[in-house]
Structure formats: structure tokens, C-alpha cells
Amino acid sequence: MMEPVKVLCAGGSDSGGGAGIQADLKAVSACGCWGLSVITAVTAQNTKGVSGIYPVTPAFIGRQLDVVLKDMGVDAVKTGMLPTDEVVLMVARKIKKYKITKVVVDPVMMAKGGKILMQKKAQTALVEDLFPLAFVVTPNIPEAEILTKMKITSLAGMKQAAVQIHAMGVKNVLIKGGHLPGNKRSGAVDILYDGNTYEFSSPWINSRDTHGTGCTFASALAAGIARGDNLVEAAWQAKIMITAAIENALNPGKGYGSVNVFGKNILTKKK
């Protein structure tokens, strides 16, 4: 029997199914990989926003990581919502213990509606303890602004922020440009920096149904890296997937809809 390519996603659960672990596993599956999960927090969430967060204890997060990694091992790890410094430190400890090198860190700091998902002390621990273990870090523009304490309003600003984050001890930095002002004219441009700069551009899609874009992109990137793609190729494939997922977005509720990696394979109700 053949062994699948395995991607472990550690993050929060989205009860609305659009982001977090649910989006991670959909993206990993759509990329042809086997998704494993470690839940760091449970949210009460729907298409209108996050109404509550219940963190999982660091000890139980550590237990989830141990039982999965001892039995199955992984080809890559993707982290998302890590709400406290104790959780960040636990995840970092296990990554070092199991000598995992293909690590994608998506620094999930706030929800689409503005709800804070990461404490200040956790942000510090993220930079000091987890960033040095990451193969690539994937902030969006608001997260890059928090990390660098600079306002990003242009492509040049994105490139400057990427250099600053790289200087924090990160091997590779990929800043997602969907929040950049003026994207409707220039398209959505992401920046990858590893000492050299690469740009990944796609046409702007005018949609408010973009819940789960960051989680989906980072998980698709992790799947590409797990398969053995080089980072540039994995980033291109993730860009292609997220663009199609936005084009095929669905709205199961009354607020913001979510990206859809399965396209027309998702059944919709007949009108």
C-alpha cells in the first residue's frame, strides 16, 4: 500500500467551515495530500464574524502533536492560529523535538471582521521562537504591518517589509498582497523574498466572499513543499489555487462567503 504525502495543520477550528483548520484540510486534500490536524482553539464563528474563542490547553496541544508525529510523521507542517505564548512555545518545542524542517508559519493575528486572535505576548514568542524554525512565513499586509511596525501602501513597501521580516531570522518570507490599496488596477501581487525578490501576480477578482484566503493559500503552499516542489513553484501553484478558489467562492450564510477549492464539485441548491 502506498504512503500518502502528509501535511499537519495546527490552528483554530472555524465552526462556519470557511477558515482555520477546516479550510486547511480542504486545501491540503485538493492538492492531493493527506491532511492531519492539531486544534489549538475552538471558535464560535459564522459568516458574520467570531463571537467567541475557547483556547485548547498547551499540554493537550502537545499531546495531539506527539500522538500524530510518533505514529505517522509528516512531510510538512503549517501553523495558523496560535493564541497564546504558551501555545507558540509548545508548537516550537515539538517542531524541534521531531526535527521538522518544512514548516509554513501563517501568522494569524486577527479574523476578517477584526477580532484579535493572538495575544501580544504570543506575537513576541512567534517572532523569537517560531520564526527561526520556519521554512517560510506568510503574513498578509495587516500582519506584516504589525510585525514591522510600518504602514504598507505600495509594492515597494511590501518588498521593504519582506526584507525586515527576513532579518528576524526567517529563511523565506511571502507577503500576500490582497489588502494592498490599488489592487483593482494592478491585480493581486504577492512578494516572496529569500535574499532575492519574486513577484506573483493574478488579476483582481472583485468579490467580498474571501473568507479563508490566507489559510487556504498557506496550506496549499505547505502541500506543494511537502510534495517536494521548490518554493517558487509551490508559491505559483498556491497562487493559482487561491485565485480559482476566490472565483468559485460560496456563501453558506448571511455575511461574508468563503473561498472554495473544489470548484464546481461542490453541490449548490437549485433555485
Q: What is the pLDDT of residues 49-60, one digit of tens each?
A: 989 999 999 999
Number of H-type helices and E-type strands within the chain: 9, 9
Cβ pair 72, 43 in contact under 8 A: no
**Which listed residue (6, 94, 112, 176) is catalytic?**
176
| 121 Cβ contact list (under 8 Å, min separation 6) | 84, 85
Q: Where are the beta strands (DSSP E) in 134-180?
A: 136-137, 173-175
User: What is the model's pLDDT at position 270?
Assistant: 75
User: What is the model's pLDDT at position 36?
Assistant: 98
**Which listed residue (12, 35, 214, 224) is catalytic?**
214
**Which listed residue (212, 216, 224, 239) is catalytic?**
212
Is residue 185 scored above 80 in pLDDT?
no
Cα radius of gyration rounded to whole Å, the chain: 17
Is position 176 annotated as part of the catalytic site?
A: yes
Is position 57 annotated as part of the catalytic site?
A: no
Residue showing cell 458574520: 48
Residue showing cell 483593482: 184
Cβ pair 16, 48 in contact under 8 A: no
Is residue 249 scored above 90 in pLDDT?
yes
User: What is the model's pLDDT at position 114?
Assistant: 59
**Which listed residue (213, 216, 243, 257) is catalytic?**
213
Is position 31 annotated as part of the catalytic site?
A: no
Assign 83 a pLDDT band (cuts: 50, 70, 90).
Answer: very high
Is residue 115 scored above 70 in pLDDT?
no
Is position 213 annotated as part of the catalytic site?
A: yes
Q: What is the mean pLDDT of residues 98-125?
A: 85
User: 46: left (phi > 0), else alpha (psi -120 to 50), else beta?
Assistant: beta
**Which listed residue (210, 216, 224, 243) is catalytic?**
210
Q: What is the mean pLDDT of residues 167-194?
A: 87
Q: What is the mean pLDDT of residues 27-42?
A: 98
Averaged pLDDT score across all residues of the chain: 93
Least confidently predicted of 43-47, 204-208, 230-234: 204-208
**Which listed residue (215, 216, 239, 243) is catalytic?**
215
Domains and CATH numbers, the chain: 6-259 (3.40.1190.20)
Is residue 192 scored above 90 in pLDDT?
yes
